[in-house]
Amino acid sequence: MTLSKTEEQLMEIIWRLEKAFMKDIMEAYDEPIPANSTVLTLLKRMQDKGFVGYELFGNSRQYYPLVNKEDYFGKHVNNLIKDFFNDSPLQFASFFTKSSNLSKEELLELKKIIDDAVKNESHD
């Protein structure tokens, strides 16, 4: 199950706040701030999709994420690799490094991440 762009924007707020009442969510939005009714509709859809839960405090709901941010975006990256790069992480990595205008420092950091992953893999 995926989120729309507006749902992802709201989910980012909920991930950042971890637990939030409606007032907290509205204060976290950048301009232009959506209407309360729009945010409530988004929250309801996200509850139905299993992304957001809530706890009642009197008449107020405190919302919290049911899905981990890394898991959500990891699934999207894997789908992207599957759909656009013949299910080849190597093709994706090659495309990413050639098309993302990484600086030398960023490329070196990426190399370090890969070297560490290779080192950890050889210890398994």
Per residue in 9-36, pLDDT tens? Answer: 999 999 999 999 999 999 999 999 999 9
Give the Cβ contact number of residue 46 at 10 Å. 24
Last residue of a domain, one of 65, 80, 114: 65
Judge if 13 and 56 occupy the same domain. yes
Judge if 57 and 24 occupy the same domain. yes
Q: Containing domain of residue 85, as a range? A: 69-123
Judge if 53 and 74 occupy the same domain. no
In tens, the pLDDT along 95-121 reads 888 888 888 898 888 888 888 888 888
Q: How many folded domains does the chain comprise?
A: 2
Give pLDDT, residue 124.
59
Judge if 47 and 81 occupy the same domain. no
What CATH number is associated with residue 25?
A: 1.10.10.10
Contacts of 21 (CB under 8 A, 6+ apart): 57, 60, 61, 62, 63
